Amino acid sequence: MDARTVWVTGAGSGMGRASALVAAQDGRPVALSGRRAEPLEEVAEEIRAAGGTALVVPLDVADRAAVKAAAVRIGEELGSIEALVLSAGANAPRRYWRDQDLEQFAALTDINLLGPVAVIDAALPGMRERGAGTIVLISSYSAWRFSPDAGVAYSASKTALGPLAATLNAQENQHGIRACHLCPGDVDSAFLDQRPQVPGAADRAVMLSPEDVGRAVSFVLTSPPHVVIDELVISPAKPAV
């Protein structure tokens, strides 16, 4: 495998962490980004202990200047960015028109939609120059099939990632760049703490694990260069009744 760098956002926990670990297991240098340095360092230590290469680059994806600076640093310290796994995301307990706050709506959009756009924008010129690149947008089942309780801002911003991936494939496949809109169903992770009612142990037991999503990300990253996985939906099996 051509061991080019994978840049993972939201890498300190959940699906981002699992994706970073599996990318490192596949033999790729991994750049780890997120807002909190301590969890990122823990993931980096785990990767290095297994013989991999990891660089911690803390940032808020809503800070566009920081994103650009991070892309430059990663290129200098790890080499060309071959792949992006965009896992940074947010939601909030207030999810309905009756109680939403417009500033909160804007903040969620900055993270869930404009954040991925900023990271892609920073990495795309280098990918285009090299003629290769894979972009995985970790979205949501609610972006694939309407889920009324997912939230107005969350649903709108995550659903927009589908056309984002589609336009990348329509315009950039000719440059060797491919994008996947990855839509997982319920995942047992700390992200569930942002729900109005946090699920209990019994509900979590039948959900996907972050590692399930990590394996899906690995499948996309390791697919042959001529294969484009436009959209991938994974969901937990329905329990027997």
**Rounded to 5 degrees, what angle do the CA atoms 192, 99, 140 make?**
35
The 8 Å CB, 24+ separation contacts for 38-44 are: 38/12, 39/12, 39/13, 40/11, 40/12, 42/12, 43/11, 43/12, 43/17
Mean pLDDT of 167-189: 95
Residue 134 has pLDDT above 70, yes or no: yes
Which residue in 168, 135, 141 sits closest to 155, CA to CA? Answer: 141
φ, ψ at 140 (rounded to 5°): -160, 150
90: left (phi over 0), alpha (psi -120 to 50) or beta: beta
Query: Is the model's pLDDT at 1 over the cut of 50?
Result: no
User: What's residue 126's pLDDT?
Assistant: 95
Task: State percent of the chain over pLDDT 90.
Answer: 80
In whole numbers, what is the pLDDT of the chain averaged over residues? 92
List b or e across 226-239, with b for residues whose CB sees 16 or more CB atoms inside 10 angstroms.
eebbebbeebbeee
For 40, the token pair is 């990122």
Average pLDDT of the residues in 64-79: 96
Give residues with Cβ within 8 angstroms of 172, minimum separation 6. 124, 127, 128, 133, 178, 179
Task: Report the distance separating Cα 209 and Cα 213, nearest Å.
Answer: 7
Contact 21, 213 (CB under 8 A): no
Q: What average pLDDT does range 38-59 have in this prediction? A: 97
Inter-axis angle of helices 210-222 and 14-25, nearest 10: 40
Give me the pLDDT at residue 240, please: 58
Element housing 107 (H / E):
helix 102-109
Q: Please tell me which of 59-73, 84-98, 178-192 the model is most confident about, judged by mean pLDDT.
A: 59-73
Residue 96 bears catalytic tag: no
Query: Mean per-residue pLDDT for 85-104?
Result: 90
pLDDT at residue 157 in the model:
96
Burial 91-112 (b: 16+ CB within 10 A, else e): bbeebeeeebeeeebeebbbbb
Q: Summarize pLDDT for 100-114 with one digit per residue, the tens.
A: 889 999 999 999 999
Least confident of 70-74, 172-176, 186-190: 186-190
- Dump pLDDT digits (tens) for 192-227: 667 767 777 877 778 899 999 999 999 999 999 999
CA distances from 205 to 168, 199, 211 (A): 36, 10, 14
By mean pLDDT, which of 157-166, 181-190, 199-208 is the weakest? Answer: 199-208
Which among 95, 154, 158, 182 is annotated as catalytic? 154
Q: For the whole model, what pTM was predicted?
A: 0.92
CA 109 vs. chain centroid, Å, equals 15
Mean pLDDT of 18-31: 96
